Amino acid sequence: MRKSILLHLLLLFASSIFAQEKFLDGYYINNDNERIEGFIQQEFFIDNPNEFYYKSSETAEKELMNLTAIKEFGIGSEIRYQRFTVKMDETINKVTKEKWSKNPELVEKEVFLKVIVDAKASLFYYEKDRAKKFFYAIDGAVPEQLIYRLYRYQTDGLRENKQYQQQLWNNLKCSAWSPKDLSQLKYLKSKLVRLFKSYNENCGGGEMAVYRGRIKKKSVNVTLKPRLASSFFEIKNEIETPVLQTIDLPIKSSFQIGLELEYMLPFNDQRLSVFAEPVYRSYQAETTTNIDYIYYVNNKPVFGSEEATVKVKYQGVEIPLGMRYRFISRAKFKLFATAAYGLDIPIERERTLTSTSETPQLRRDFEFRPENTTYLGLGANFLNRYSIEFRYRRKESLSMRGERIFGSGSWRHSFHTTEFIFGYRIL
């Protein structure tokens, strides 16, 4: 039965990876200045694109549109690209052994520029192979690159060419700021957007549109989490006496299910999130083994050994509260790591020891302090809907000290689980 469930989940997961492509409302303008409405494939472009997929309707076949045929395209109300022939310095803002010149190495290229601010003074963005460049235009002119360049100076020196500050002062003079303000302006999107908005609001006049440059992402996810779990229970004496012993109960496999509520933190492209994931768990096992023990009569140690059956039974709901970090984040594929601390809501919890001796010296039951549960996981997400994760869980507590609790001293129990988790986002 378990193999059948696993096979069906794998087939569903594999088929859906290749079956789903998400298209959003969009448009493009061709070389004849015709605006064509339709649907454009959702892509979280890292580099500025040279092409994109388009559908005339949701059921139509997709078409590949390229730079030479398209003057402009947009997705929703947040993403807009325009085609220009510009002069640009494509070097990345990183010092190399060969990068001695402070002057930009301008070459002419035809590219799609991402529109950030559209107004009297417009701001554009271009990224390719880690080279991040900003462009500006006044009154609809051809955009000009805002020059910023790192370069080597002498043998170990580092210099910055901040020509963009002078460019803005020469072309965007405004009473809203001073030369000192521009001298402190950093070559960052947030700083430049703020300056261009200030100029257009205070000195530019006319209408202004500001584009986020990306589709607004969901902030809350609800995901169904079935899993295959393999668990075992361990009881270990931690005191340093002649009585040192570990009792291992058998490994048990089971099918379990949970429901995860995840909140995506609104920074760093939503790479970090927090989650809560109630999971129903059950485990039941027993083992028979020889238990060594020690107790004292008239302050003299008495050593012994008895055969005993240790039985553990647990049913309950755990609620891991944790964080997830996506260290690789692409439009259709993400790799992530999780860490969590668990809250325990027991439904049934029993731990007993039964001696087979006719004159038993071991106590027949034992109590434990509240458990601490920790989780570590590594997984992948596909198409922002399906996920797989390998997770290790450890629940641990310390027994109460008392007379002849497996002897006299502290015993720690650990409940270990490894899980292979499938995820299907339902909201």
pLDDT per residue over 150-164, tens digit each?
Answer: 887 776 677 889 999
Mean pLDDT of all residues in the chain? 81
210 neighbors 116 (Cβ within 8 angstroms) = yes
256-281 burial: b if 16+ Cβ within 10 Å, else e: bebebebebeeeeeebebebebbbeb
Specify the range with the lowest mean pLDDT, choosing from 66-80, 296-310, 372-386, 389-403. Answer: 389-403
| Contacts for 134 with CB less than 8 Å, ≥ 6 apart | 123, 124, 125, 126, 145, 146, 164, 187, 189, 192
Residue bearing tokens 């963009």:
164
DSSP symbols for 76-116: TTTEEEEEEEEEEE---SS--TT----S--EEEEEEEEEEE
Whether the predicted pLDDT of 130 surpasses 80: no
186 neighbors 113 (Cβ within 8 angstroms) = no
pLDDT on residue 14? 42
246 neighbors 235 (Cβ within 8 angstroms) = yes
Specify the range with the lowest mean pLDDT, choosing from 8-17, 81-90, 95-104. Answer: 8-17
CA dist 347 and 234 (Å) reads 21
Domains defined for the chain, CATH in brackets: 77-210 (no CATH), 220-425 (2.40.160)
Q: Does this model's pTM top 0.85? A: no
CA dist 375 and 392 (Å) reads 6
Whether the predicted pLDDT of 217 surpasses 70: no
CA dist 21 and 117 (Å) reads 29
Which of 148-152, 223-227, 311-315, 406-410 has the highest mean predicted lDDT (pLDDT)? 223-227
86 neighbors 143 (Cβ within 8 angstroms) = yes
Specify the range with the lowest mean pLDDT, choosing from 64-73, 178-187, 310-319, 406-415. Answer: 406-415
Whether the predicted pLDDT of 338 surpasses 90: yes
Q: For 231-263, what is each residue's pLDDT tens digit?
A: 888 877 655 444 556 778 888 888 988 999 999
